[in-house]
Amino acid sequence: MFMKKLLAILLLLVCTSAGWGQSRVEDGGHELQLWSGGGHSVPGGASHTGVWNAGLRYGWILTRPHGPGFLEGRFEYAVDAVPAFLVFQPSNTAYGAGVNPLNLKWNFATRGRVVPYLELSGGTLFTNHDVPTGTDRVNFTSSAALGAHFLGESRNWSVEARYMHISNAGLGDRNSGINTVQVRVGIGKFYGGGKAAKNSRPDKNQ
Span 141-150, mean pLDDT?
A: 98
Please give the model's pTM, rounded to 2 decimal places. 0.83
Note the pLDDT tens digit of each residue in 2-52: 445 545 554 554 454 444 445 678 888 999 999 999 999 999 989 999 999
- pLDDT of 110 > 80? The answer is yes
pLDDT at site 172: 77
Query: pLDDT tens digits for 61-74?
Result: 999 999 998 899 99
- DSSP-derived secondary structure for 9-60: HHHHHHHHGGGS------TTEEEEEEEEEEEEEESSS--S-EEEEEEEEEEE
User: For position 11, what pLDDT does the model report?
Assistant: 52
- Across 153-182, average pLDDT: 92
Banded model confidence at residue 206, pLDDT cuts 50, 70, 90: very low
